Structures are given as C-alpha cells and as structure tokens.
Amino acid sequence: MHQVVLNGCCGGFSLSREACEALQALGVDVDSDYDGDGYLYDVPRHDPRLVQVVQNLGFHRASGSTACLYVETIPGNRYRIEEYDGRETLHTPEDIRWTVIE
C-alpha cells in the first residue's frame, strides 16, 4: 500500500509556508511564490516526506492558499492524477473497467 497527496479543491496544488519549511528541513527542494505558497516540480506526490508533512500538519496547516490537500492510500504501485480546475482525482489500474472482446 502506498500513499499519495492530492488537492481536493479548485485552485491548484500548493503548500503552506509551514509545510515548505518542514519539507526543506527534510531535504526536499520547494519553490515558493511571492505569497509564500510552495510548489513541487520534481518531487512525486507519493514521496514519503511529503506524505509525512501533510499528515503531521493536517490538511488545514499543510495546504497553500489555493489548495485543500489530503492523503489517499492506493492498493498497488501505479497511479495517475487527473486535474480539472485545480481539483485532482486519483486513478489506479483497479479503477479501469475493461471491455472484453469475446
């Protein structure tokens, strides 16, 4: 089982200043904007340090001004994040409804 961090609201994935500082203390490179929100460009959403920070701070304290972060557990080791207006949906291979040709 693996855990993935997602954004559950319109606006887009971003981290609070407090979450950025916690991640930087763990050795994660975080980009910040002028408002103090942080963005991850080269860090996967399943990075254990990111999951740990979001879980430890809670979604209110970990989320940036345009986000509502949460952690979702997936059964396997593959996932895809789909985004619409900033809100993200997690898809795993188990979600696919296959059409079988007989």
DSSP per-residue string spanning 32-74: E-TTS-EE-SSS-TT-HHHHHHHHHHHHHHHB-TT--EEEEEE
- For 12-56, the pLDDT digits (tens) are 999 999 999 999 999 998 887 766 788 888 899 999 999 999 999
CA–CA distance, 34 with 14 (Å, rounded to integer):
13
Instruction: For residue range 49-102, list pLDDT tens digits in order.
Output: 999 999 999 999 999 998 999 999 999 899 999 999 999 999 999 888 888 898
pLDDT of res. 99: 86
Question: pTM above the 0.95 mark?
Answer: no
Q: What is the mean pLDDT of residues 1-11?
A: 95
Instruction: Quote the pLDDT of residue 48.
Output: 97
Sign for the CA dihedral angle at 79, 83, 89, 95 comes to negative
